[in-house]
Amino acid sequence: MIVSILACTKTLDFDDEGLANKLVFNGIIQTGDSFNANLLRSSSILSEPREGAMFAGGTILLYENGTLLSTASSPLGQFSLTDIKPKAGANYRIVVNTENEMIEAATNIPQKAEVISVDTSSVKNEFGRWTNYKVNIKDPLGEDYYRLVLMSESLSFYTSKDSLGNDKRYYAVNTHQWLFNSDDPVFKNLYNNFGQDVIDAGPNNDYSIFTDDYFQGKGYSLQFQVYNSYNGGGYGYSDPSSPNLSSGIIYQRYIIHVQKLSKELFNYLKYIKLYEFYHDDPFAEPVPVYSNIINGVGIFAGVNDEAQFSFQETYIPFSMDTIKIEENGYNNGGGYSY
């Protein structure tokens, strides 16, 4: 018996040169904050990486409602405009000039999200606590795009030896973003992942973005839950005045951010998640990452992060004014990811 094995090959056209050597711009502008952005240049997937080859120097011009607001130049493509205070409701445009190329993009910063109230309720057991949050939003007329972000901030202390060998008490702030659970349809309908019996339910809405399709021009009660485990059977807060404790947590609070996104930022977050979910699937259609950069790729988008609400559980036997926060200490940075 003779067994033959036939190998089949298929040639795919791939425009590597068209994707390489493109200017890549990334910058998010928001109310009352300085504007930072970076400019890179894409390289071929077939080329050897070279140190510094990705940076692209140039000059950026930022316009607000058609008027030049600020400029900055950088040989390494790291732009920082600290002399501005972006405003809600304003339109913004960037023009970036390199040695022989120009890219541009436009966006807006939405008005502040109108939150009527935020309610909480908790259920405790021996292992931890479920906290239920209800955020009541009043949506204006027209299309609006939202994102919900939950941050945690804690103040901790620890004891260490100073230069003279004496014990010294230090304080540090730790911040990080928390994930939450929600069956609210505004989160579920983005990728149509409602049911349990669907073969391809799509990616999870990890960026927690949503539109006002369900409640345009009306009020809406947004609901989600957070689980907190106890620290060693207790709640985990410590008395910093006790000389026998070398470290502990003085307080922890949660900060709810109800953000209003520009359409550009909403689309960028939506499609980058689709790309991450499907790009390794050989049976899925290719998903392009959203970009609004003319003559380049990347994103220039606006966000309004003014609607913030904090919930704090505290043990502080003295004024916060007497505490010096260490800049390094245990501070693991803050902010949230786009």
pLDDT tens-digit map of 219-262: 999 999 988 754 433 345 566 666 666 788 877 788 999 999 99
Give the N- to C-terminal CA distance of the chain in Å, as an integer. 61
State the chain's mean pLDDT as an integer.
Answer: 81
Residue 1, pLDDT > 60, answer no
- Tokens, residue 310: 């904090």
Residue 330 lies in a domain: no
Does residue 242 belong to any structural domain of this protein? yes
Whether residue 201 lies inside any domain: the answer is: yes
Examine the domain organization and report whether 149 and 191 are in the same domain: yes
Instruction: Output the pLDDT for position 249.
Output: 80
Q: Give per-residue pLDDT as tens, 131-147.
A: 899 999 999 999 999 99
Written as one string, the DSSP assignment of 178-234 is EP-B---HHHHTTTT---SS-S------TT-EEESTTTTTSEEEEEEEEEEE-BTTB
Instruction: Report which of residues 8 and 85 the model is more confident about.
Output: 85
Give the pLDDT confidence score for residue 96 in this predicted structure: 97
Helix (H) or strand (E) holding 151: strand 145-161
Give the structural domain span for 51: 17-108
**How many Cα neighbours within 13 Å face the side chain of 272?**
14
Number of helices and strands in the chain (H, E): 3, 16
Identify whether 328 is part of a domain: no
| Domain of residue 47, CATH code | 2.60.40.10
Residue 38 confidence (pLDDT): 95
Residue 6 lies in a domain: no
pLDDT, residue 211, reads 96
In a domain, 295, yes or no: no
**pLDDT digits 0-9 by tens, 303-335:** 999 999 987 655 444 444 555 545 444 444 455
- Does residue 52 have a pLDDT over 50? no
pLDDT at residue 233, rounded to an integer: 34
Lowest mean pLDDT across 35-49, 103-117, 126-140: 35-49
Is 298 inside a domain boundary?
Answer: no
* Cα 108 from Cα 167, distance rounded (Å): 52
Tell me how far CA of residue 192 lies from CA of 132, 181, 198, 204, 205, in angstroms. Answer: 24, 17, 10, 10, 10
What is the total count of domains within the chain? 2
Residue 277 is assigned to a structural domain of this protein = yes
Of 86, 108, 130, which residue sits at a domain end? 108
Q: Which of 82, 108, 134 is the last residue of a domain?
A: 108
Answer whether residue 292 shows pLDDT above 70.
Answer: yes
Mind listing the pLDDT tens digit for each residue in 155-208? 888 888 777 878 888 888 888 898 899 999 999 989 876 555 555 567 889 999
Pair (96, 200) in one structural domain: no
Distant-in-sequence, close-in-space partners of 196: CB < 8 Å, separation ≥ 6: none
Does one domain contain both 221 and 255? yes
Task: Say yes or no to pLDDT of 37 above 80.
Answer: yes
Collapsed DSSP state (helix, strand, coil) of residue 319: coil
Same domain, 206 and 75: no
